[in-house]
Amino acid sequence: MNTKKLIILLAVIAAVIAFFVFDVGRFFSLAYMKESQQSFSTLYSERPVFITAVFFALYVAITALSLPGAAIMTLAAGASFGLVWGTVVVSFASTLGATCAMLISRYVLRDSIEKRFGAKLIEVNKGMEKEGAFYLFTLRLIPLIPFFMLNVLMGLTKMKTLTFFWVSQLGMLAGTVAYVNAGTEIVKIGSLRSILSPGLIGSFVLLGLFPLLMKKVIDFFKKRKVYARWNSVKPKTFDRNLIVIGAGAGGLVTALIGAAVKAKVTLVEAHKMGGDCLNFGCVPSKAIIKSAKLAHQMRHADNYGLQKAFPAFDFKAVMQRVHDIIAAIAPHDSVERFTGLGVDVLEGYAKIVNPWTVEIAMKDGSKKTLTTRSIVIAAGASPVVPPLPGIEQSGYVTSDTLWDAFAKLDALPKRLVVLGGGPIGCELAQSFARLGSVVSQVEMAPRILIREDEEVSSCAEKSLAADGVQVLTSHKALRFENINGVKTLVVEHSLNGEVTEKRIEYDEVICAVGRIARLEGYGLEDLGIPTQRTVDTNEYLATIYPNIYAAGDVAGPYQFTHTAAHQAWYAAVNALFGTFKKFKVDYRIIPAATFIDPEVARVGLNELEAKAQNVAYEVTKYGINDLDRAIADSEAHGFIKVLTVPGIDKILGVTIVGVHAGDLLAEYVLAMKHGLGLNKILGTIHTYPTLAESNKYVAGEWKRAHQPVKLLEWVKKYHDWRRG
């Protein structure tokens, strides 16, 4: 806290202390006001402007300092100024004072609070931006809620001062009128309790509930409006409780939850059960990563005291293994399994023709039309293909098509270009380099894994380079050429202000520049459901139609299998039981991993995000090169970096670079989910020797950095004394 803030805080504290020490409160009692009413009225009749100004200033000061006495002064205004003028004076004075109190809180306290609770305040401020004015107005209508607390709490948010002022002005008006009116008959008042009778309190409570009821009414009419053009086709009965479009992670889990609660559910899939993860993403990529890692370990067998080996392999066999693994896992997501669990599975193309009707073009050419209470869209995402000149003639593959395309190759591509430096591009570039391809990875950004901290990107680049990948960051792909059968990618690179072009010859090119939600082909346009990069949904995952939801990649904001499954619970429960209770999707603790070697895993904030969000943090770091098990495994590289709230062990985020980082991260996901700090991890027994011990050691590093130095000095003196 800087000097100015400290001075203001001390001044406020001093004023409050003086108020009580000098018993200033006696001048704000009902008895004193009754005694002084006549003399005050006389002064007001003689000098109305001056007395009004003094009263106004005093009222503002009392309110701004959150001192007791505002209620008595409101009564005094009614007794001396009358109902109309008294209401005007008190209304503006109370609002101005409340605004001053809010601004004092904001200036003195908000920065300190943000440093300690920055991550939580981000969500609070999002909510305040959306509906803060509405809830402030509602709370202002209920005098039982201490207004001074509202002033202080609102100062900690980012609500605009003008918004706070006018909402407070309107919200406090009803209570002000009631008190001022009571003051006009001051002689009849025996205590403040006589004003706040049970009937009046009940009236104010009902008044406070009125905006909430109005919100429900408004929501009802909004709902009627959005469904208005479809009312004529709304069925009286429904074939299904829920129809789910897409059988990827989001769709499968949604359908499974629906069936588990005995709803009648139909799941529609146009391509392959299991979606992108099983068929094109997580599963095949991890399969080839394993083969590539084994080839790498054979080449570096001397690290384990063995002779180096240069693996000879049939690339077709490697790709066949990938497809065999997909086939082995496929029964988990199969039509047969989900049919057995109570889900009606249809293979075809679904189109929503109205909010309650889905038309399915079956693969056998027939059509089927079903009505349903609710719909969940889980159509997933597809690879982005940049509109580069010549790309359609380049013979490119994507993360979706390479598995089938490469399975047809007789040999490993000798020269491979990978477009993209994100997780998918990095995983594929390293894997094919380890298998023996000469890989050039082209990334337009200044570094790969751009969303991670710079040191993480640096570790990843060094690792890929060590495996033979030519990592070309700050290189922009310009065009593809094919001259005399030689396929070439032309890239542009700027160095020290000089722009040069570079030509990269290749045999195959993998396009891995990102994925985009599938938004076309199933009726969103006809229904007028807004889309941007994803389907627009609210915090409950509902679209503009309260019975149509979206989950997974098509809904965003994350493109992870586990996030899709996480959203699926909310989509399913809200779709089936939203009439009674809806749940806001929780994105607070989202883990992620990039499965290069060494792996990169993260949950919560990294330094890049903490700085961007102005969240105060401390960094504790532990080098895995010090870990016994990592040394024994010849995997002694990488680190764990934990961000905590300054001064305490509350975890804001964790980044791990190292072998099995994705598995090691689970302990931190659990800790953050349930509010456990580093002290709890330090106090947990971890098996020796395991990689998981690194989690305990980083907690130990934090503990050493926060030793009670002064206390330990006294403990040392105690031990010295004990030795005589």
Q: What is the pLDDT of residues 185-204, one digit of tens each?
A: 665 555 555 555 555 455 55
C-alpha distance from residue 204 to each of 217, 518, 520, 689 (Å)? 20, 50, 51, 65
Digit-coded pLDDT (tens) for 18-43: 767 766 666 666 666 667 777 777 88
Instruction: State the CATH architecture for 598-709.
Output: 2-Layer Sandwich (3.30)
Helix and strand tally (H, E) in the chain?
27, 21
Digit-coded pLDDT (tens) for 54-68: 889 988 988 888 887
Burial class (CB in 10 A: 0-12, 13-18, 19+), 580: exposed
CATH number of 240-383+516-577: 3.50.50.60
351 has a pLDDT exceeding 90:
yes
- pLDDT score at 120: 62
Q: How far is C-alpha 149 from the chain's CA centre? A: 28
Q: How far apart are CA 393 and CA 301, in angstroms?
A: 41
Digit-coded pLDDT (tens) for 469-515: 999 999 999 999 998 889 999 999 988 778 899 999 999 999 999 99
Mean predicted confidence (pLDDT) in 575-588: 92
- pLDDT score at 70: 80
What does the buried/exposed string (b/e) look like for 452-481 if buried means 16 or more CB atoms within 10 Å of the residue's CB?
bbeebbebbbebbeebebebbbebbbeebb
Mean predicted confidence (pLDDT) in 563-574: 97
Place of tokens 């896992």: 329
Mean predicted confidence (pLDDT) in 278-291: 95
Q: What is the mean pLDDT of the chain?
A: 89
395 versus 115: which is more confidently predicted? 395
206 has a pLDDT exceeding 80:
no
Q: How far is C-alpha 631 from the chain's CA centre? A: 37
Digit-coded pLDDT (tens) for 147-168: 778 888 888 888 889 988 988 8
Digit-coded pLDDT (tens) for 517-546: 999 989 999 999 999 899 999 999 999 999
Local structure of 622: helix, strand or coil: strand
Within 10 angstroms of residue 631's Cβ, the number of other Cβ atoms is: 13
Contact 449, 620 (CB under 8 A): no
C-alpha distance from residue 275 to each of 247, 362, 565 (Å)? 6, 18, 12
Local structure of 649: helix, strand or coil: coil
Digit-coded pLDDT (tens) for 96-149: 999 998 898 888 877 777 766 665 666 666 767 777 777 787 777 666 667 778
One fold for both 391-514 and 598-709? Answer: no
- Tell me the one-letter amino acid at 379: A
- pLDDT score at 27: 66
Q: What is the DSSP string of 599-611?
A: EEEEEE--HHHHH
Mean predicted confidence (pLDDT) in 195-222: 59
- pLDDT score at 536: 94
Indicate the domain borders of the chain.
3-212, 240-383+516-577, 391-514, 598-709
Digit-coded pLDDT (tens) for 238-275: 999 999 999 999 999 999 999 999 999 999 999 999 99
Local structure of 350: helix, strand or coil: strand
Instruction: State the CATH architecture for 391-514.
Output: 3-Layer(bba) Sandwich (3.50)
411 confidence band (pLDDT: 50, 70, 90): very high
Mean predicted confidence (pLDDT) in 387-394: 94
- Name the DSSP letter for residue 394: T
Which pTM does this prediction carry?
0.78
- pLDDT score at 75: 77
215 versus 174: which is more confidently predicted? 174
First to last CA, the chain: 45
- pLDDT score at 194: 56
SS3 content of the chain, % helix, strand, coil (to 5): 55, 20, 30
| Most confident region among 76-80, 482-486, 551-555 by mean pLDDT | 551-555
Digit-coded pLDDT (tens) for 591-639: 999 999 999 999 999 999 999 988 999 999 999 999 999 999 999 999 9
Q: Which helix (H) or strand (E) holds 37?
A: helix 30-46
Within 10 angstroms of residue 288's Cβ, the number of other Cβ atoms is: 23
At 523, give phi and psi (nearest 5°): 95, 5
Q: How many CA atoms lie within 13 A of 604 on its CB side?
A: 29
172 confidence band (pLDDT: 50, 70, 90): confident
